[in-house]
Amino acid sequence: MKKLVFKFDYISKILTGEKRSTIRLSTDLKEGDVVEVFAGCVRIGRAVIKRVCRKKLEELSEEEIKMDGFKTREDLHRALARIYGSRKINSNPYIYIIEFQLQ
């Protein structure tokens, strides 16, 4: 089974539904996939992938930023820069928005 892995810091946002999507630079996930969800080493459960959308990072809407659990675009950029590096994020890469729903 495919996995969707998050930093442990996001566990409460995922469980409360504040974080219902994730932004990745690449993915093999598609709509309808069922995945195991982990936060750090903790298995949260299973989720269904509701939607996968590809677009430029700067094209993200405020709603998409909030679905990913961030209050501002700047907060999102800082988090992505810690994962992928500032240089990559500042280049306005194509990203994948992966919406999921815990089962």
CATH code of the domain containing 17: 2.30.130.30
Position 12 scores a pLDDT of: 95
Question: Tens digit of pLDDT for each residue in 4-42?
Answer: 999 999 999 999 999 999 999 999 999 999 999 999 999
| Domain assignment of residue 37, given as a range | 2-102
Position 43 scores a pLDDT of: 97
Number of domains in the chain: 1
Instruction: Select from 22, 37, 30, 23 the least CA-distant residue to 51.
Output: 30
Distance CA 101, CA 78 (A): 25
Rounded to 5°, the CA angle 66-36-92 comes to 40
Task: Determine whether 100 is exposed, middle or buried from the number of CB atoms within 10 Å of its CB (0-12, 13-18, 19+).
Answer: buried
Question: Which tokens hold the place of 50?
Answer: 């509701």
E strand or H helix at 97, and its extent? Answer: strand 94-102
The model's pTM is: 0.93
Question: Tens digit of pLDDT for each residue in 61-98?
Answer: 999 999 999 999 999 999 999 999 999 999 999 999 99
Position 2 scores a pLDDT of: 97
